[in-house]
Structure 1
Amino acid sequence: MSSSNRRARNAARRARAAVTAHPYAAAGVPVAFLAAPAGAVPNPGGSSLIDVVNHVASSPLLTVGAVVTAGGLAVAGLRYWNGTKWASTADHGFATRHQLQRAMGAGQMRSKKRRRELRPSLVNVPRREIRPTDLGFYTGTSVHAKVDTYAKIGDPLLVVAPPGAGKTEYLARNILDAQGAVVATSTKLEPIFDDIAELRSEKGPVHWLNLERLGGRDSTLVWDPVIGCADPRTAMRRAGFLLSGSAATAGVENRAFWSGSNFDILKSLLWAADMAGLSLLDVARWTKNAADREAIEIMERLGSAVPPGWREDLEQAQQNPKDKTVVSVYKTLALTFSFLADPAIAATIKDARSHAEAFDPVQFITSNGTLFLLGEDREFAGVGPVFTALTGELYYHGGQLAAANEANRRLDPPLTMVLDEAALICSVPLEKWTSDARGKGISIHIAIQTMSQAIARWGRFAAETIWTNCTRLVLGGLAVAEQLNAISQMCGERDETVTTTTMSGGTGQAGSATTSTSTSTRRVPVMSPADITGLAFGTMLMLRRQQKPVVVSYTPASELAPIKALRARRAKAASKARWSRRRQRLAEMRQQWIPQGSFVTHGSSPDWGADSVYEAPVQAPQQPLVPPQAAPEHERAVPAAVTLQKAPVAPPQPDHSPTVHLQPPVPVQTAAQAPVTVRQTAAADMWAAEDPWADEDPWADEEVI
């Protein structure tokens, strides 16, 4: 027998002997509770069973064992809670708590594997310091499983909601939580954008491109798509994006058409304009006349610097400018640049080349900047081509920066594109981006009103690709029956138990009636079309890949703590400024209306108050106090705005007293009959006027804070 086996055998023998010799063994205490040594407690002889139990419970070893047992039960309960639902094992058709935590929970977002995949710069950061939004975006809290869900960086989101359903409030959260640069589009200047811009300015520069001055906001960014097209690849790339954003290329048929002739002509025009130092206005002028040879003449002067075949593309169109195909091509190009008919937009584009600081997409991305693109939804002459070209440039340079990152070939921190009303003002090729952006670390969040809108913009097949590639978030209010039925079918069906009670009349005698109950199961939709369209504000239906449907709730951006704190600080600053202006105004009014006299103050305050008594200046009379003669009626002057009445003056009293009783009584002067001056009366009228701030509560703003 080996030494280790021998030591184990001897230890077991000593343990059995100690248990057998334990003094509590005779009292009926189970051997499992005899954890204390024999000499640690007194002899239980004559003691009751309660005393024995108290002595055993006070054992340190028993206390440790109880703690370990309780911890094991807690772990088992936690695992049971994560895998199922308490007191319920029925399948309701929605994703379970366990499924959500494994796929979209906060725990898996902070795991080292996820950090190494998405953001290697956070691998060595302690887990407790990592937030789920550092590696993804909050998508809502499950209504059924009570789990916070997150979409990781790179997962495209598609929000489908009619106007007023709350999609802007939801997308604003993603702008605020984005860790890197953000590009956000909108058809109007939302109030929440000002709050987000102020908070985002702490991370990087904030730019506005508002060519139409929506909401009175001026553009801080000036950009001409022609600048930089001297590089042939840039000219090709921007030509494609300009045409992609044009209203003339909507639908699958037109998009297949402009991919040929329109693209060949436009890329040559962009290259020639940049080489000659011209602007997009000159390109638009060339597209209005198919016989204009200015671009060809520029290429002829440049000679061998022209890319091969580019001049031939223009010359071929110039040979027969009245051909129907050529006319159609140039008409499409003219519609693409129709937004330049707006003088304000044209002036902004024209001044781009002379602008002191040109927009650098690479610097914008690396500095974690924020860019708001605001443009009105116009049926004609919309600014979509410019927004599409600028967004495409940022996507291209983001991909180049991602390829240069040797750690994981992704952007770190990522680039986020929040494209609200993308089908109207920023119709980039999302059918390609939604499948390609995940590997580059670029998050694309799209918002449209209905899928019909996407089909009209990108075509049916491209719209179906976008729908498949994204995590779908459907808000309430959708009213297209075909789409509602399709979404309801995607949610699947569940079993519903139906109980039927049947009562028979019997023979007519008392107690002869019988009642029978039957139970059956039927298949019903998990989410019916009525359930989908009736989703309350702040809730939405989430459909993600092969995962079961999830109904989630979210807090609007305007109710988030950072936004509330920012607005409270603004309200406090506005209150201070308002009261400062009021005090300044009151000081000016006092200086303006103060009388030229002295004040006798009975208190310590030098200002006007209840204890201050005004003493009018005493002036020596210039003439004897003789009542003036009444002037004729035609010589009487028109009284001024303030008519002053002099109080009567009592005649001098004689020295002798016998005739006192014959003199008329002298009336006593009151404060109302005292002599006053014009300045005093005006001051009294001024202070009696209504205070313009009388309706304000000086502590109202303090309650907000």
Structure 2
Amino acid sequence: MTRAVGPRAGFTPHGSIGGWVLLLVGWGAVAVFALIWAGAWLASRMFGGRVSDFGTDFVVDVAEGRTATAWPGTPTPAVVVTAVLLLSVMLAVVVAVWWLIARRVLDPLDPVAALADNPGLASLMPKVAAQKARGLRPALGESVAPCDIGLPLGILMHDGPTLYASWEDTIFAFMAPRSGKTTCLSIPYVLTAPGPVIATSNKADLWAATASLRAADGAVWLFDPQCVTYQQQAWWWDPLRDLTTVEDAHRLAGHFVLTVDDGQKRDLWGPAAQDLLCALFLAAASSGRTLRDVAKWLDTPSVPTPVELLEAAGFSLIASSLRGAQNGAVETRDGIYQTARTATKALRDEAIIAWVTPSSLPVFDPYGFACGTDTLYLLSKSRSAASPLIAALTDCTMRAAERRAERMGGRLDPPMVVCLDEAANICRIADLPELYSHLGSRGIVPVTILQSYEQGVTVWGEAGMAAMWGAATRKVIGAGVDSPRLARDLATLVGQHDVPVRSVSYADGRASEQISLRRQDILEPAAIRALSPGSALLLATGGRPALISLLPWYGSRDADRIQACRERLERLITEGAAG
């Protein structure tokens, strides 16, 4: 009869445990008698007397209790105490050495051990990453500070080095709520960035933890029309300011239409509503009008004013398209206009539209922002309110950074970090998958954080999500991945390894042991789902997957400063809420 005991690594690589046990027993007995002799020798020096030479006679005398022959003239209690002390010291040394060795000798069944040998991660190591940073940013010189190397991804598990994403990488992260998105990614990345930063969130914690520290390097711009932080409006932005082409107007309209909840209705009326908004935005921009006028035009489908403004500005073709929409069948026209009104519900909220219409406050300049080291925080509670304006402002600022990079020779220096937390909810940029393919080469590092793969599919579709996944050079999968599909795909990407399986056979009253190898997943889907908070699976282009420990802000050397900043701004939020 043969029974497989299960996957288990042997004590030795070839399972020869019996021979090792015999060796340990034999030499262990020799070591014990050697310790007794050493104890007797030390006692004889302290209390007088002498000790016989170490050898077979000494061992026989001790074993038979002839202590007077083994150490004549030396007190036996002194020998016992000394030998016990020596044994304690030896055991302490052996345990310490064993512990050090055990830390470095990894269990072959451990996925960390299976993924440890990964030459593809060489480009993420500190020295190589620093060298790459000097190549991407010649102004750094020979001395590169840790914050200039790149964005820290985490520590390679089992006391490995810190791994860095370079300033030409694009990062994609999946992390469940309360699994460290803000603590381990957003806050460290905002504080690490050497240049301008765009950060989106639906909560105030990111702003509270970083705003004061970022203010030391540049201006802080807080876009908070829904009073997430309870701070007063300090500036405004004109979405129509640089809108001079049909393409620009179409992009702006797309940010609004993408927030319409009903996917089937959007498929039917969405493109037409986007064309309508494109025409109205262009009419307002070319005539010096504002988004308030756009909202009024949407309420009166037959008003001829936008058509006349477009023709006067030279946009005769889009003026003709708008006239056709106004003069079409009433049911079709009303459906298009209603979809457009639903998409632009933010323009009906006075608290929100005040941020994007002229006032006496300073105006935000996206191109000037890309030239400095300022920080732009974009906050919204839900995608149905200010989220289209957040997407539009993010997109406009990134395109301004691209123009700035082109004027600098192709790359933005210092680079811009765009941390898009809750991207699928409050910052839906329709062509973000396409942007991922080239933003990194411009010195713009996007960090898109989603809760699940399916969340991204609802925004960008299967093709768009697959394109973004493929274009991201660094992918971080944290705790709480509950998507069976994603977990299975990740298990496939991680790969398989050989696992030793011990089999015991019983025949003719004798037992024999055999060790065989079996191929199995390094990380099963259930293990990927069960990743502990603070750990993550890293997929880097050109290398095998790796397990990393994330770097929360409270473990950094600036933790005290961050905590003080956080407490001070949280008090401001509390005071604002109370007032």
Instruction: Show the 5 A alignment for 1:266-415.
Output: 266-299=277-310, 302=312, 305-324=313-332, 326-349=333-356, 352-378=357-383, 381-406=384-409, 409-415=410-416
Q: Percent identity?
A: 26
Deviation at 1:342, TM superposition (A): 2.6
Using structure 2 for the length normalisation, give the TM-score.
0.74
Q: Is the 8 A contact 2:173 2:448 kept in 1?
A: yes
Deviation at 1:250, TM superposition (A): 5.5
Q: Does 1:115 align with 2:134?
A: yes
Q: Is the 8 A contact 2:198 2:377 kept in 1?
A: yes
Moved more, 536-545 or 267-276: 267-276
Instruction: State the secondary structure of the residue aligned to 1:502.
Output: strand
Instruction: State the secondary structure of the residue aligned to 1:355.
Output: coil
Partner of 2:85: none
Q: Does 1:214 align with 2:235?
A: no
Instruction: State the secondary structure of the residue aligned to 2:114.
Output: coil
Equivalent-residue separation in structure 2 for 1:288 and 1:154 (angstroms): 46
AA matched with 1:106: P
Equivalent-residue separation in structure 1 for 2:309 and 2:107 (angstroms): 76
Equivalent-residue separation in structure 1 for 2:261 and 2:248 (angstroms): 22
Q: Is the 8 A contact 1:97 1:147 kept in 2?
A: no
Equivalent of 2:257, from 239, 243, 247? 243
Deviation at 1:315, TM superposition (A): 1.1
Q: Is the 8 A contact 1:185 1:420 kept in 2?
A: yes
Instruction: State the secondary structure of the residue aligned to 1:561.
Output: coil
Q: Is the 8 A contact 2:276 2:322 kept in 1?
A: yes
AA matched with 2:371: T
Partner of 1:472: 475
Equivalent-residue separation in structure 1 for 2:183 and 2:562 (angstroms): 17
> Any gaps of 5 or more consecutive residues in structure 2?
1-102, 571-579
Q: Is the 8 A contact 2:260 2:343 kept in 1?
A: yes
Equivalent-residue separation in structure 1 for 2:566 and 2:198 (angstroms): 26
Instruction: Show the 5 A alignment for 1:179-218.
Output: 179-190=194-205, 192-218=206-232
Deviation at 1:236, TM superposition (A): 4.0
476 and 181 in structure 1: CA distance in 2 versus 1, 3 angstrom threshold? same
Q: Is the 8 A contact 2:310 2:316 kept in 1?
A: no
Partner of 1:142: 156
Equivalent of 2:434, from 432, 435, 440? 432
Instruction: State the secondary structure of the residue aligned to 1:159.
Output: strand
AA matched with 1:545: T
Partner of 2:189: 174
Equivalent-residue separation in structure 2 for 1:229 and 1:239 (angstroms): 11
Q: Is the 8 A contact 2:274 2:340 kept in 1?
A: no
459 and 571 in structure 1: CA distance in 2 versus 1, 3 angstrom threshold? closer
Instruction: Show the 5 A alignment for 1:38-77.
Output: none
Q: Is the 8 A contact 1:541 1:549 kept in 2?
A: yes
Moved more, 440-449 or 470-479: 470-479
Equivalent-residue separation in structure 1 for 2:208 and 2:406 (angstroms): 34
Deviations, residues 76-101 of structure 1 (Å, cap 9, x unaligned): xxxxxxxxx9767969431526442x
Q: Is the 8 A contact 1:493 1:523 kept in 2?
A: yes
> Any gaps of 5 or more consecutive residues in structure 1?
1-84, 507-512, 575-705
Q: Is the 8 A contact 1:154 1:441 kept in 2?
A: yes
Q: Is the 8 A contact 1:119 1:135 kept in 2?
A: no
Partner of 1:664: none
Equivalent-residue separation in structure 2 for 1:150 and 1:256 (angstroms): 45
AA matched with 1:183: I
Instruction: State the secondary structure of the residue aligned to 2:390.
Output: helix
**More relative contact order, 1 or 2 (CA 8 Å, 6+ apart):** 2
342 and 262 in structure 1: CA distance in 2 versus 1, 3 angstrom threshold? closer
Structure with bigger gyration radius = 1
Deviations, residues 283-302 of structure 1 (Å, cap 9, x unaligned): 122223422222123345x3
Instruction: State the secondary structure of the residue aligned to 2:242.
Output: coil
Equivalent-residue separation in structure 2 for 1:439 and 1:256 (angstroms): 37
Q: Is the 8 A contact 1:491 1:548 kept in 2?
A: yes
Partner of 2:16: none
Instruction: State the secondary structure of the residue aligned to 1:247.
Output: coil
Instruction: Show the 5 A alignment for 1:611-626.
Output: none
Partner of 2:94: none
Partner of 2:556: 560
339 and 571 in structure 1: CA distance in 2 versus 1, 3 angstrom threshold? closer
Deviations, residues 392-411 of structure 1 (Å, cap 9, x unaligned): 111111111111112xx100
Partner of 1:418: 419
Q: Does 1:523 align with 2:519?
A: yes
558 and 286 in structure 1: CA distance in 2 versus 1, 3 angstrom threshold? farther
Q: Is the 8 A contact 1:95 1:547 kept in 2?
A: no
Equivalent-residue separation in structure 2 for 1:185 and 1:569 (angstroms): 19
103 and 228 in structure 1: CA distance in 2 versus 1, 3 angstrom threshold? closer
AA matched with 1:96: D
Deviation at 1:422, TM superposition (A): 0.3
AA matched with 1:329: I
Deviations, residues 409-464 of structure 1 (Å, cap 9, x unaligned): 10000111100010001011221111120211110001111101001111111011
Partner of 2:443: 441
RMSD: 2.8
Q: Is the 8 A contact 1:181 1:364 kept in 2?
A: yes
Equivalent-residue separation in structure 1 for 2:287 and 2:318 (angstroms): 16
Equivalent-residue separation in structure 2 for 1:488 and 1:569 (angstroms): 41
Q: Count residues in correspondence.
A: 462
179 and 256 in structure 1: CA distance in 2 versus 1, 3 angstrom threshold? farther
Deviation at 1:468, TM superposition (A): 1.6
Equivalent-residue separation in structure 1 for 2:138 and 2:331 (angstroms): 57
494 and 256 in structure 1: CA distance in 2 versus 1, 3 angstrom threshold? farther
Equivalent of 1:485, from 480, 484, 488? 488
Partner of 1:460: 462
Instruction: State the secondary structure of the residue aligned to 1:460.
Output: helix
Equivalent-residue separation in structure 2 for 1:475 and 1:570 (angstroms): 24
Equivalent-residue separation in structure 2 for 1:458 and 1:258 (angstroms): 14
Deviation at 1:341, TM superposition (A): 2.9
Partner of 2:126: 106
